[in-house]
Structure 1
Amino acid sequence: MLRRGRELGVDRRGTFLAVLLGTTIVTTFLLLLTSGHPRVPDRLADFAIVVTSPDAANRADAFAEPVPWSASEAQSLAERLRSVPGVEAVAVDHRFYAQPVLDGRPVTDSTTGHAWLGEGPPGPGEVIVDRSLGVPVGATITLLTAAGPHTWRVSGHTDWRGVYFSRPDAERLGPGVRAIGVSGPASAAAVQTVVGSAGTVSTGDARGVAEPRADARTRWIGMQVLTATTALAGFACVFLIATTSAYAVDQRRREIGLLRAIGATPRQVRSMLQRSALLLGLRAAPVGVLLGALAALFLARFLVGAGLEPRGYAVRWQPWVLAVACAAGPLISLAGTALAARRAARTSPIEALRVARVEPRAMSRGRWISGLTMAAAATGAGIAAAGADDLRDVGTYALFGAMALVAATVLLAPAVVPALIRVLLGPWPGVTAVLARESARTAVRRTSSTAAPVLFTVAFAVFVTGTAQTSTAAWETRRANTIGAETVLVPDGTPGLPDSASASAPLDTTVYVERSPVAVSGAESVAAGTALVSAEAARRYGRSVTLTFADGERETVRVAGTAPSGPLATDLVLSRDTVRRHDPSALAPGAYPVPPGPVPVGARAASPGEIARQADAEDDRLVRLFTMLLLAVSAGAGALAVANTLLMTARRRGPDHRVLWLAGASRGQVLRAVALETTLVVAIGSLLGGGAGLLAIAGSARSLSAQIGAHVPVSVSWPAVAASVACCLVLGLAAALWKPAAARQWRS
């Protein structure tokens, strides 16, 4: 009885740990996911009301800036706002390119200049800078603007990011206006009446609409990462808790048989098992929520430092998130136990006692139906991914297809496990191999259950790393095919090249055609008042087109011909002088070919191959971080589940090891048999998981092939996969060998 009590304690501890781990993972990523909200810019935080210019007519995830007001329109609106009752002050916000240079290198995380909106503004030729730059008040600082490097005097410090100028200097460097701050107890409705359709009035947290588009893009990328990770974390939580709970019930068949033999009804058995699972879940979930909240604080700082979230991102403590995470563990544990308990409770007393030694058939009708349903869902997701036009849809279908495929493989694994056992251990001679082979073969359900966490870990290691490497290689190929053979002068630590780097390089800017943003290049070869358009854009524009420029001014230009092709080509090409006149902060994406003379600050020469590799270097870096995060969640959770499951199994198999000892087996023979069987389990899970992961990637590769018009081979990070398998094997062997190595019979 004492031994039975210890075995039940191990089963309960195993279920407790599964719920604890699952709840921790879900809490962490659900908190991070729900904490991503637009943040009010620091310079506008003291204004009760923020008025922003009209939104661009495009999808929100394109991150286009709002259509700007011209300087005269902004000034007129500001004068009308000052007449609203309750308005105490109105400040016009100007934003433009200004980047500090320290020790001959541009400061990469500070590229924006603003008009100072507070008290004590700097004078002409003076700036207020972030004190973290380390430039003392009264000293000079070199700033890169679109015209080139210039020296400014530092008149003050702030804790805000960016560089702050006097109003006249700000109007000269960035005449267009996209935000106006209003302070005082004025009502938002009265302000909106004055603004009308000329802009949007925001208060409270809604003022975050004025956040920089770069921050919005970073936050959006972070949300995509966290959405996928949260989905994977939820799947891991369901998978780990449900499989562990069901396995714990299967391990209690002897106890169930005894209860049925003394008169317990199936309903009483089900009630006992479900009540036990629920109580364990209720004990583990609060601890998991606490650990998940602490992990969220750490990961939030990591996400900001890694560039997956903008500066200022922090965990938001929302009670409903904690409640959902706390309820998830017990409910999933209850659901996982309910299915196994229903099957176990239907067993007759004699049969339950008998199957305590010999397992029933591994594949039930319900398991076949569930497994085939998941396989059909995975096939449907793969077909949808292969036919999707949007890469976001491809990623979503591929992830859900991978989840369904893993679930199908786990459910259908017992059907193929016997064949895999024969293939892997059939040729091996010796008593140890026979013991391991027959132990695994006569307990297919147990073997499949212990292999399931390995399958999960390896499948997602293959899928996650394969998806990242396959997509990265595909886009590098596409970029390389669009770049010519000439060397190009490209930005180095700056968002673009100023006029001092190349006075004739084409300038990039954004104009608006009926509020729709259009990327424009300004070239010297184009006459003033005319535009060249690409073949695709020619179908959208007629003989002339009216443009709203970055300074808010409108101008109609005549379409004069077709835009030239090249690595820096755009759909719309205007006169360079026109672009510079309307956008004093316009920068060149590169100089093609490289101009003569020394390479200036903030620029470097690059070959076509380097451009192909580094055109999206930042996005590729974020993809690698995304991959590491997903791999850490899947591999970490899976490896711990492997150790937990095998530890539960080892405690249950003490009598089997004692029988071998009584039959004459030595300690070394028993340990070798256990080690070989554990290695067999890891090998089976790795083979099935690797196959599932490769099938999931195949659909994504076909979709990418259609996107770029070239064959995309499947590429997987096999070292990462091998590390995941090795981690599972090491933890599995440690868990499986610990109990038999410390058994009492070896000391007797």
Structure 2
Amino acid sequence: MLTLTLHTLRTRWTAFLGTFLALALGTGLLTMTGLALAATLDAPHRTPERFATAPVVVRGEDTLRVPTRIGVRTQPLAQPHTIPAPVITRLKTLGRVTADRTVPLPGGLVAHPWSTAAFAPYGITAGRPPRADDEAAVTGDRYHPGDRLRTPHGTLRVVAVLHGRPVENAVFLNDARAARLSPAVRQLVVDAHPTAVRKALPDAPGVQVLTGDDRHRADPDPDRDREALTALNALFGTAGGVAAFVSVFVVASTFAFAVAQRRREFGLLRTVGATPGRLRRAVLAEALGVGVLASATGCALGGWGAPHLVAWTVRNDLAPAWFTLGGGHTWPYHLAFWTGLLVALAGATAASWRAGRTAPTQALREVSVDARAMTPGRWIAGTALLATAAVTLGLALTGDPGELLHRKSYVSRPMLLITATALLAPALLRPAIRLLPPLPGAVGMLVRENAAAGVRRTAALAAPVLVTVALAGSLFGATATLHGAEAAEARQRTTADLVVTPPDGAGFDRATVDRLREVPGAVVSPSATGSVYVLEDGVALIRSEAHTLDPAGTTRLPLTAGRAADLDDDSIIVNEEWAHHTVGDRVRVWLGNGAPRTLRIAAVMAAGTGGNGVYVTPANAPGAPVDRVDVALEQGADRDAVTAGLRAAGGQVTTTEQWLEAPGTDRTTRLGFLLVLGIALAYSGLSLVNTLLMATSDRVRDLTVLRLTGATRRQVLALVGAEALFVVGVGALLGLLVTLLNLAGLQGALGLLHAPAGLALPWAELGTAAGACALLAVPAAVIPARLAMR
């Protein structure tokens, strides 16, 4: 049997080439993602940056801590505490105190007092320190001495450029100007011994003393590295999961088609005395040989490609600049190798049982018509997966519809339906073929009849197209549908004509809001955004976005109970996602600054897409910046004049429709989806090329008969190309069907959550996926046919 296996591998190398490449690619991807995941575990310990040389940093409390029966639960405060003036006075008795202030500026710039630059890894490349109120020192290479920097607070003249590792895009002002722009002090540097500072502040609530590596907590966005690594884990995990899923799919499809092609060969072996067990062992031995070689090759390719993958994530700002590939990890190689080998054996198992059931009479078959393309096992597996997809969807819709809106759900759920549809594809193909428009002439008739007669071959070719199109449609369609629902929700919540936002993205000060109110013809409705925290089930500290509501303003809430007019300083409007959402009940919450309150539920909103948050009065959003001003035009007011007045008052003005345009998929998610789609396309190409090579080698006699009946070489090649294009169309049609079913479940969840439930099909991505498959399939069919006719 070993001799037979080696002989089969040598003579039927085209049948195993696609399997080898698919396994090698899958193992390589698993190795790459595994090594990248291992690198996230080797993240270096972050040391202080902005205050690297500061002896002690005193910072206002920025964390809410709530004791529960299972320990203290924490959440970052939306409005960190300022340092009280008596505490600053006390600290000045210990040594020099340098106050740090933060002033957001447009373009991602942040201004600080010049005195704090001494504690960061900066040095002056050119120029001198800023002294006058209109002078500034900047980091990076975007500006040069003498340049002008326009800000909402006036035009600054650049007098110095700083070098060193950039902590942020910083602008340094003289200390007096920074103090006027940002009077509050949330952190400061004390030139004293840490022990003396702690002894001086034993009874100061809301203040924390940072020394050593803890000073990193005073850096801008100290958790950015952890958040970026979490996103990388999700990206690499999704890519590795899709690679494993599609590789199993392709390998199983390839082995099944190869066994179907070799039924006469197996029939001859059965005629000369081969038992079913021997045939099964032969197929598994072939899979073992291919699996070992392909897995080893994939591990080598993955080890070569992992540094390039890590560099790509850094280059596209998906990972921190310091992220590099670590060394000393061997578990990704073991995981990838044994997974690849297991995939090969798992993909060949079903085919081996089918080979063992081959009857000796199969040696007498001369026709290629598939009388029985659907085996009992395929019916059972496909129906079971289809039922599983339906039942889990039904349970989610009746239990927790919001779960279907999470990314992990709409990324993983399509796999069930895709697999079920692919398994049932031979039974669905004939109806799908009849749905496609007929091609004209004799070639068109032959294309349709050949596709319907060779159902097994058609299913093997359509399956990878189905996977690619369904993945592209389901992933990008889900995000497009969700963003469309979010935009529709926002449209329903406002009656404003214009929306004014701060040019620096930080918030309006009181003086600017007053100037906006004075614009003739404008009815102004300011809105601030903060946070509210609630302890659910006594153990989970949940943070909700809190908006301030002006009952006479332009906001319309999607209420399911209660009245917005009942909102006062002793109440709150919550949404249905809250554990307690009964009108009239009282709920204990913590405000954005950590202050505890017990508020009455005045009204309840629909859960929607999850962006409704809660609504409170300005008294319960202390320190929350006014980040948006809705403007309604008075009767007879001139829109252009009002717009000009609002801009002159210091706002960035857009129409409501411009502001409410559906946001596109965030960059990280889109890049992740493109990576997944690229994996699916690579596998589709391999599977299409391999299956077409195998099919063409079996159709040499058919092509010869066509030539003998008078068909020209060009007509035969046109027939072969048209067949490949037709099968791609069938696969794309099935992929579109799967996409519609997946998005229908998402649409149902949105409807149950009282959110706008429009369905958005990503036609561009669907067309790109189908077109790429067609560009791969036609040459892969025509070129081998042309060589065969020679």
Aligned residues: 698
C-alpha distance in 1, partners of 2:56/2:353? 60
C-alpha distance in 1, partners of 2:54/2:423? 58
SS in 2 for 1:56: strand
State the partner residue of 2:494: 483
Which of 193, 209, 221 matches 1:212? 221
C-alpha distance in 2, partners of 1:659/1:61? 77
- Residues 255, 33 of structure 1: alpha-carbon distance in 2 compared, 3 angstrom cutoff: same
- Residues 504, 30 of structure 1: alpha-carbon distance in 2 compared, 3 angstrom cutoff: farther
SS in 2 for 1:390: helix
C-alpha distance in 2, partners of 1:199/1:726? 59
Query: What's the RMSD between the two structures over aligned residues?
Result: 5.5
Q: 1:168-567 alignment to 2 at 5 Å?
A: 173=182, 175=184, 177=186, 212=221, 215=224, 228-257=238-267, 260=270, 265=275, 266-267=277-278, 268-290=281-303, 292-301=305-314, 303-304=316-317, 319-351=330-362, 354=365, 361-387=372-398, 388-390=400-402, 393-421=405-433, 430=442, 432-433=443-444, 435-492=446-503, 494-497=505-508, 501-503=512-514, 506=526, 508=528, 510=530, 519=546, 532=569, 535-536=572-573, 549=593
State the partner residue of 2:109: 110
State the partner residue of 2:523: none
Shift of 1:379: 0.8
Shift of 1:372: 0.6
Shift of 1:690: 1.4
State the partner residue of 2:138: 129
2:652 corresponds to 1:604 = yes
Q: 1:59-78 alignment to 2 at 5 Å?
A: 64-65=76-77, 68-72=80-84
Which of 683, 690, 693 matches 1:644? 690
State the partner residue of 2:727: 681
State the partner residue of 2:126: none
C-alpha distance in 2, partners of 1:273/1:639? 23
C-alpha distance in 1, partners of 2:391/2:746? 13
Q: Which residue identity does 2:573 align to in structure 1?
A: E
Shift of 1:444: 2.1
Q: Which residue identity does 1:413 align to in structure 2?
A: A
Which of 63, 79, 100 matches 1:55? 63
Q: 2:476, 2:762 within 8 Å by CA — same for their partners in 1? A: yes
Q: Which residue identity does 1:162 align to in structure 2?
A: N
Cα displacement string for residues 437-458 of structure 1 (whole angstroms, at most 9, x for unaligned residues): 5543443222211211111122
Q: Which residue identity does 2:615 align to in structure 1?
A: D
Q: 1:550-699 alignment to 2 at 5 Å?
A: 571-574=615-618, 586=625, 588-590=627-629, 592=631, 597=645, 599=647, 603-613=651-661, 617=663, 628-661=674-707, 665-699=711-745
Q: 1:18-33 alignment to 2 at 5 Å?
A: 18-29=22-33
Q: 1:127, 1:155 within 8 Å by CA — same for their partners in 2? A: no
State the partner residue of 1:103: none
2:169 corresponds to 1:157 = no
Shift of 1:597: 3.7
C-alpha distance in 2, partners of 1:349/1:45? 80
Normalised TM-score (structure 1)? 0.75
Q: Which residue identity does 2:769 align to in structure 1?
A: S
Q: Which residue identity does 1:572 align to in structure 2?
A: V
SS in 1 for 2:496: coil
Question: Any gaps of 5 or more consecutive residues in structure 2?
Answer: 67-71, 124-128, 196-201, 517-525, 535-540, 554-566, 575-580, 604-610, 633-641
- Residues 333, 589 of structure 1: alpha-carbon distance in 2 compared, 3 angstrom cutoff: same
Q: 2:144, 2:161 within 8 Å by CA — same for their partners in 1? A: no
Q: Which residue identity does 2:379 align to in structure 1?
A: W
Which of 734, 739, 745 matches 2:784? 739
Cα displacement string for residues 303-333 of structure 1 (whole angstroms, at most 9, x for unaligned residues): 41xxx55665555665434443344333212
Normalised TM-score (structure 2)? 0.71
- Residues 54, 473 of structure 1: alpha-carbon distance in 2 compared, 3 angstrom cutoff: closer
- Residues 28, 700 of structure 1: alpha-carbon distance in 2 compared, 3 angstrom cutoff: farther
Which of 10, 15, 21 matches 2:14? 10
Shift of 1:375: 0.1
Q: 1:643, 1:731 within 8 Å by CA — same for their partners in 2? A: yes
Cα displacement string for residues 402-458 of structure 1 (whole angstroms, at most 9, x for unaligned residues): 11111011111112324444665989663x456545543443222211211111122
Q: 2:422, 2:463 within 8 Å by CA — same for their partners in 1? A: yes
C-alpha distance in 1, partners of 2:680/2:191? 48
C-alpha distance in 1, partners of 2:462/2:528? 56
Q: 1:381, 1:397 within 8 Å by CA — same for their partners in 2? A: no
Shift of 1:358: 6.4
Q: Which residue identity does 2:386 align to in structure 1?
A: A
SS in 2 for 1:477: helix
2:98 corresponds to 1:96 = no
Cα displacement string for residues 642-686 of structure 1 (whole angstroms, at most 9, x for unaligned residues): 233223322343344345445654323432332232233222212
State the partner residue of 1:718: 763
SS in 2 for 1:396: helix
State the partner residue of 1:86: none
Q: 2:104, 2:506 within 8 Å by CA — same for their partners in 1? A: no
C-alpha distance in 1, partners of 2:760/2:372? 39
- Deviation larger for 174-183 or 393-402: 174-183
SS in 2 for 1:605: strand
- Residues 597, 221 of structure 1: alpha-carbon distance in 2 compared, 3 angstrom cutoff: farther
C-alpha distance in 1, partners of 2:8/2:598? 87
Q: Which residue identity does 1:476 align to in structure 2?
A: A
C-alpha distance in 2, partners of 1:330/1:609? 55
SS in 2 for 1:536: strand
Question: Any gaps of 5 or more consecutive residues in structure 1?
Answer: 83-88, 100-105, 187-192
Q: 1:368, 1:412 within 8 Å by CA — same for their partners in 2? A: yes
- Residues 405, 533 of structure 1: alpha-carbon distance in 2 compared, 3 angstrom cutoff: same
Counting aligned pairs with the same residue, the percent is: 25
Q: 2:688, 2:777 within 8 Å by CA — same for their partners in 1? A: yes
